[in-house]
């Protein structure tokens, strides 16, 4: 490390390392989205409609995703029930 860098970098983090971190997140996110089937959003809406017949839930309480673990594809459905609903 250069002598003057010692003072420069101690106060502020390098913008290039910020850029790298942001890119790793963006790219991982976009790759996941590109590899997931495009019917997912519609399917999520349909499931939401069915669940709502019985339990009042909001849009953000349901989450549908496809994950790959090894050779196996897993369709994961998460429905979060808040305290007041359900019981």
Partner 1 sequence: MKKKSGNKSRKLAVVEETSATEEAKKLATVVVVTSGKGGVGKTTTSAAFSSALAQKGYKTVVMDFDVGLRNLDLIMGCERRVVYDLLNVIHGEGSLNQALIKDKRIENLYILPASQTRDKDSLSIEGVERVINELKERFDYIICDSPAGIEKGAVTAMYFADEALVVTNPEVSSVRDSDRIIGMLASKTRRAEQGLDPVKEHLLVTRYDPSRVDRGDMLSATDVQDILAIPFLGVIPESKSVLVASNSGAPVILDNESDAGEAYFDVVDRFLGEERPFRFMDVPRKGLLSRFFGT
The site for partner 1 (CB under 8 A) is made up of 2-5, 9, 14-17, 19-20, 22-24, 26-27, 30-31, 34
Nearest to partner 1 of 5, 73 (CB atom): 5
Minimum separation from the CB atom of position 36 to partner 1 (A):
13
Q: Which burial class, exposed, middle or buried, applies to 24 when counting CB atoms under 10 A from its CB (0-12, 13-18, 19+)?
A: exposed
Nearest to partner 1 of 21, 46 (CB atom): 21
Minimum separation from the CB atom of position 66 to partner 1 (A):
16
Write the Ramachandran bin of 86: left for phi over 0, alpha for psi from -120 to 50, otherwise beta: left
DSSP at 2:
-
Minimum separation from the CB atom of position 75 to partner 1 (A):
21
- 73, 67 contact by CB (below 8 A): yes
């Amino acid at each position: 490390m250069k002598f003057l860098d010692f003072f420069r970098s101690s106060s502020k983090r390098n913008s290039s390392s910020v850029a790298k971190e942001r890119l790793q997140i963006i790219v991982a996110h976009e790759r996941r989205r590109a590899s997931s089937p495009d019917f997912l959003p519609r399917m999520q809406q349909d499931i939401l409609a069915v669940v709502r017949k019985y339990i009042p839930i909001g849009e953000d309480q349901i989450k549908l995703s496809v994950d790959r673990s090894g050779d196996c594809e897993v369709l994961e459905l998460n429905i979060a029930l808040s305290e007041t609903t359900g019981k």
